[in-house]
Amino acid sequence: MTGRRRRLVILGNSAAALSAIRAIRSRGGDEQVTVVSREECHAYSPVLTTYYLRGVVPERRLFLCDAGSYRDLAVECRFGRTAVELDAARQRLLLDDGTRLDYDALLIATGAAPTRLGGLDDEVAGGLCYLRTIEDARRIRRLAQRARHVAVLGAGLVSLQTAAAIARPGVHVTCVVGSRQVLSQNLDAECAAIVRDHVVREGGIEFLFGRSVAMIDHEAEGYRVELAGGEELSADMVVVGKGVTPNMAFVDPGQIAVERGVLVDDRLRTAVPDVYAAGDVAQGRNRISGAVEVVANWIDACEQGRVAGLNMAGADVTFPGSVPENVTTLFGLPVASIGSVGAGDAGAGLTSVTGSCPERTTYRRLFLKRGVPVGAILVGDVGDAGVVRAAIVRAEAGAVPVDRIVRGPIEAGAVLRSCVSTSASTAVT
C-alpha cells in the first residue's frame, strides 16, 4: 500500500474508543482516523451520570472531551450517525444516512444499551426510563423533579445508584426485584442484607423482593405496575434496570463470530482480519476465571481500547484478560466487588474467609480457589481495594495475608469464618 494513508475507523466515542484513538496517536503514525458515534455530543462519562442526577456534578463536568480534543488527536468526527451494516468482506461500514466508510482497520467500540422490557404497548414502552446515555440522564432528572412515587425495576448497580439519586424527602422510591437480594451479581446474600438495610435506613427506599412485573399500564396520573401474584403499585415514573445488551445489531454473525458480545482473542481481534472489538460490546477472556464472557466496566473498556488501538496501528500487544470489578458508594456506604465472588459457575469450588464487625456495617469476604485469591467483597472500608485487586490479579497461593485483608479495618473482636461455597449455595464449615 503506497501513497495512501491507512484508514482507521473507530465506531463509538466513549471509554474504549477514546483509549484506542490515544493509543493509535501515541505510535506517531499518519493514519487517517475517523470516529463515528450515534450520539451528537462529545465523549462523556456514563459513570458520572448518577452524580449528575443527584446534583453533585454539573452537566458540563460529565464531558471528557471538547472540540479541541478531537482536533488535537487529528480525527474526523461523524457524530449523530449510527452504523447500520458492516460488510467485513469489502471492509466497508454503512451509516444510517447512506454514507459508506471504507476502512483498512475497524474498531467496534459500541458498548451496550439497557435491556428493554418486552411485551408492552408503544405508549408505555416509550414512557419508561432507562439510564445509559447523557440524554437518558437529562430525561430522568427532568421527570424526577416532578415525581412523588418512583418505581425502579431491578436492584443492580445502576438501579440502586439511580434509586439513591432520586430518593429524597417527599419522594417514595420502590425497587421491584426479581431475586431475593440487592446486587445479586456482585454480593453474597449476607453482605447484600447489610447493604439493603443501610439503603432502607438512610434512603427510605422500599424493596419488594422475589417479584416479577406482569404488566405496566399508563394511566392519566402515571403508571400502574402490576406484579405477578396480583400486587399493584402506582408510580409517576418507572425506571428500568434489567442489565445491558451489547450494541452489535450492525454485525452480521455469518461474517463475525458473536455470542453474548462480539468474540475477541487476546489481541482484541474479531474472527475477521482487521476488525477489532473492545469495551462492553466485546466478549473475551476473564483473567480470573478464564471464562470467555462480557466483562463490562470502565477500566477494562479503556485497557481493551488501548490494546486494540496499538494493534490497529501496527503493534503486537496482548491483553491479559478482564477483571470484573465494581466499586460504588450508596448513601455513604462504600461497596466493592472484585474478581470471582461466587456468582454463577465461577462460584463452584471456591472457599472463602469472611470477617464482619458486630455492627455489620463493615464486611469483608475473600474468595480463594485452591488457596489462590480469586475474588473479594469489601463493604464499609474499601481503602485497600487496589491492594486486594493486585493480590487477586497476581494470583499466587500464599502470596497474600488472607487474615490481614479480611480482618483489615475491622476492629478487634471481628469474627472470621471459613466457608466452602458452590455456585448455588454457601455452607459454613
Ligand X SMILES: Cc1cc2nc3c(=O)[nH]c(=O)nc-3n(C[C@H](O)[C@H](O)[C@H](O)COP(=O)(O)OP(=O)(O)OC[C@H]3O[C@@H](n4cnc5c(N)ncnc54)[C@H](O)[C@@H]3O)c2cc1C
Phi and psi, residue 166, nearest 5° = -85, -35
Counting every residue written for the chain, the total comes to 429
Q: Which residue stretch of 35-43, 143-151, 214-222, 309-317 sits at the interface with ligand X (rule: CB under 6 A)?
A: 35-43
Residue 160 in the binding site for ligand X (CB under 6 A): no
Subset of 262-301 contacting ligand X (CB under 6 A): 279-280, 296-299, 301
Among 34, 49, 159, 337, contact with ligand X (rule: CB under 6 A): 49
Task: Count how many Cα atoms sit within 13 Å of the Cα of residue 46 in the half-sphere of its side chain.
Answer: 23
Among 91, 283, 328, 362, contact with ligand X (rule: CB under 6 A): 328
Write down the least CB distance from residue 36 to ligand X, Å. Answer: 5
The residue (of 296 and 376) whose beta carbon lies closer to ligand X is 296
Burial of 267 (0-12, 13-18, 19+ CB in 10 A): middle
The size of the interface with ligand X (CB under 6 A), counted in residues, is 36
The residue (of 157 and 366) whose beta carbon lies closer to ligand X is 157
Write down the least CB distance from residue 389 to ligand X, Å. Answer: 12
Among 20, 31, 33, 38, contact with ligand X (rule: CB under 6 A): 38
Residue 389 in the binding site for ligand X (CB under 6 A): no
Is the CB of residue 242 less than 8 Å from the CB of residue 178? Answer: no
d(CA 289, CA 266): 15
Write down the least CB distance from residue 292 to ligand X, Å. Answer: 17
Evaluate the CA torsion angle 116, 118, 121, 122 in order and state its sign: positive
Burial of 239 (0-12, 13-18, 19+ CB in 10 A): buried
Among 5, 47, 142, 396, contact with ligand X (rule: CB under 6 A): 47
CA distances to 84, 103, 250, 271 from 87, rounded to whole Å, are: 10, 11, 9, 13
Q: Which residue stretch of 15-23, 168-176, 206-214, 222-230 sits at the interface with ligand X (rule: CB under 6 A)?
A: 15-23
CA 178 to chain centre: 19
Q: Which residues bind ligand X (CB under 6 A)?
A: 11-17, 36-39, 46-47, 49-50, 82-83, 109-112, 131-132, 158, 161, 247, 250, 279-280, 296-299, 301, 326, 328
